[in-house]
Chains A and B, each alone.
Chain A
Amino acid sequence: MRSFKKIFAVAETELRSMVRSKAFLVSVLILPIVMLVMSFAQRRLAQHADTRPRRFAVIDASGKYYDVVAEAARERNAKLDELARLKGPQSPFEPQRVELGGRPVDEVRVALSDRVRKEELFAFVEIPIHPDVEKLRYYSDHPAYEDLSSWLRASLDANIRTERYDAAHLDAQLRVALERKVDADELGLLTRGPDGRIHPAEKQDVVRAIVVPMVPVFLLFFFVVISVPQLMNSVLTEKNSRISEVLLGSLSPTELMAGKLLGSVGVSLLLGALYLTSGLTVAARMGYASAIPPSLVIWFLVFLVLAMLLYGAVSMAIGAACNDVKEAQNLMMPMMLPLMMPMFMMGAIVESPSSPLAVGMSLFPPATPLVMLLRVGLHPTPPGWQVVLSAVLTLATTALCVWAAGKVFRVGLLAQGKSASLAQMVRWVFAK
């Protein structure tokens, strides 16, 4: 009982001092600020998009398709405002016909290339005699800008198809029937309610299927990255300022570590609650309230606690073993890897959440909290025993780390001045 009271006293003090720190204020504000700045920047960028006319030269070997291109460009330029509403600001396309005039074609190509370089032209294109069997040749210095070339292809394609239908004497209705494409509805699974009635499958959409499960994982990652170094610093400061010696006269290192860990779990839950409340409010306003299942919110909180416990314990052990921040940061690097790994592999996990790799990563620490949180948001949801097992394994690893951190802290206290090697730390952990 006394032990719990002491752990609670440490936790409360840790929580108070963290919440009062500038770092907490920054972590509360940073994400909303970054998001605001980003959306503002995006809007500004869109407003200032390059909408200069795209002038391009056309060498038309067929002799009949330049007019098709010119007409299509005129039609498109007339509808620019409408296009801008759908796809953002657009440039008008302005074709110019170029005649060979008896010159060798390579000479003309070189001359046009020079004009592109001088930015008199944006690109130039060669239309072959039979564009349906030969390729267009599109030359430009902007390989990433595909709007023009794909528009050219689509315009000619539509025209040539019409010619073919005309040649085959097909009437308009038949044309529509011939061009009809196969479409699909992407659905979830059907369920049968307790009353025996069958509930129809719901339509899948990207937000529900991918964005909703990914957001909590990013948030979790963010909280851990924000809170864990603070915890490491607090241990390091206590050790270096000799506060630890006073503390260890009152409670065991394991109690101290457990208290600090609980304190920082409290801080991250507080942060989590703040973000969840504002996140859910925003989602509700955008009409996505129903897309966020309450179970996901609960899982988020569960795995947030687990992640803070696990990574907090490891970082405390590192803080206890080091003498200065720089050294501790070097040791933190290998610890951040298991945190980063799920972020890099998110795509693969989202695509097949029950692959052996995803299952393995979600069951066995150190990446457990992030990967399992991602999996519980995705379909197919992991079986209950896997979720429980991952929580148990994470807790076991946490307990091990708290105990080891306490050991390292006690010995590291006396070994001031020089830092411990990894081998030394392992020896300390297993020493009496």
Chain B
Amino acid sequence: MTNSGEAIAINGVTKWFGDYAAVNDLTLSVPRGSVYGFIGPNGSGKTTTLRMTMNIIFPDAGEIVVLGERTTKAARDRVSYLPEERGLYKKMSVRDLLRYYGRLKSVPRAQLEHAIDHWLERMQIADRAQLKIESLSKGQAQKVQFIAAVVSEPELLILDEPFSGLDPVNAEVLKDAVLALRDRGTTIVFSTHDMSTAERLCDRIFMIFRGKKVLDGTLAEIQEQYGADTIRVRTDGGPAILEGMPGVDRVVDQGNLQEVRCSGDPQLFLKALVARTTVHQFEVTRPNLHDIFVRIAQPEASS
């Protein structure tokens, strides 16, 4: 049942908070060496799933196998976690803090010092090593938190919203670091609200909604499920001209162009559109991750 090629195997896991099933009969397999994106609206069970994987809380039913270990405790030192809400000791110096977190992952001292130097350099904060955490900027603190998670060179790295609150330059530095870790064989699981990041970085994407798995696969596989029902149009008439046209289920206004979900024949729709206005662009495409996310979560958000 447990495949040695899996970094995480979640089998029929359920977690109750009172009467509410935060995660409901979830089964998921994260292959080793992959970058796996966890998406889902707030409160859908992402963080609960990650915390259960980290052995911080326990499932009420089902089983989680991490790096081949049935008790996640045994895998603890080979797994690292960057929680969504950052936790650093304000009064500690950057180096002391990284040493402490590294020791808690049982990293040998000499290796730890080397890793700290390497990562401080790589994240461009080597000159901050002796400063207290409280004197760092938010972005710098976030980098320190990231280093704290990777300094033990984990086999599995779990990142909860790693890019939130970072400016584009720092986000790029972090993204490069994540990719470098992947190239070294680290399995990376991260949750995000940023769909374009998920599309660009992830080999596979998993979406959880109301505690249940609603999407799981590569981006292509997921898009395949939703077919080629999205049409991007740029017309003189703008969004107003699309209202009430036959076959149009939904219009998403992107400013200069509109994304139309069309249930009818795209050719008939094009003819009808040409009859109404001047068409500059007409592209039949697959829905992107953002659209798919919204399609799944929209009924909930609007209710």
Contact = CB atoms under 8 A, between A and B. Distances in A.
B81 A5 contact: no
B80 A410 contact: no
Contact of B76 (A243, A246, A251, A413): A251
B1 interface: no
B56 A6 contact: no
Contacts of A410: 56-57
Nearest to A10: B104
A424 to B, nearest CB: 12
A97 to B, nearest CB: 76
Given A251-B76, A252-B73, A243 B104 contact: no
Interface in A403-418: 410, 413-414
A248 interface: yes
A164 interface: no
B238 interface: no
B87 A241 contact: yes
A241 B92 CA distance: 14
A129 to B, nearest CB: 81
B54 interface: yes
B79 interface: yes
Contacts of B57: 410, 414
B193 interface: no
Interface in A7-61: 9-10, 13, 17, 20-21
Contacts of A10: 104
A242 interface: yes
Interface string A226-253: 0000000000001001111111111110
Given A6-B106, A410-B56, A245 B87 contact: yes
A251 B73 CA distance: 8
Contacts, number: 70
Contacts of A241: 87-88, 90
Contact of B87 (A6, A17, A238): A238
B103 A5 contact: yes
B295 interface: no
A197 interface: no
Interface string B93-106: 00010001101111
Nearest to A21: B91
Contacts of B85: 242, 245
B103 A9 contact: yes
Interface in B66-89: 73, 76-77, 79-81, 83, 85-89
B56 A17 contact: no
A326 interface: no
Nearest to A6: B104
B58 interface: yes
Contacts of B103: 5-6, 9
Nearest to B60: A432
A243 B90 CA distance: 10
B83 A17 contact: no
B148 interface: yes
Interface in A204-243: 238, 241-243
Contact of B92 (A17, A242, A246): A17
Contacts of B91: 17, 20-21
Nearest to B17: A414
Given A2-B77, A17-B89, A238-B87, A245 B104 contact: no
Counting from the closest, the 7 A-B pairs by CB-CB distance are A243-B87, A242-B87, A250-B104, A249-B81, A9-B103, A242-B85, A245-B83
10 contacts: A13-B96, A17-B89, A21-B91, A243-B89, A245-B85, A246-B145, A246-B149, A248-B54, A249-B54, A250-B77
Interface of B: 17, 51, 54-58, 73, 76-77, 79-81, 83, 85-92, 96, 100-101, 103-106, 145, 148-149
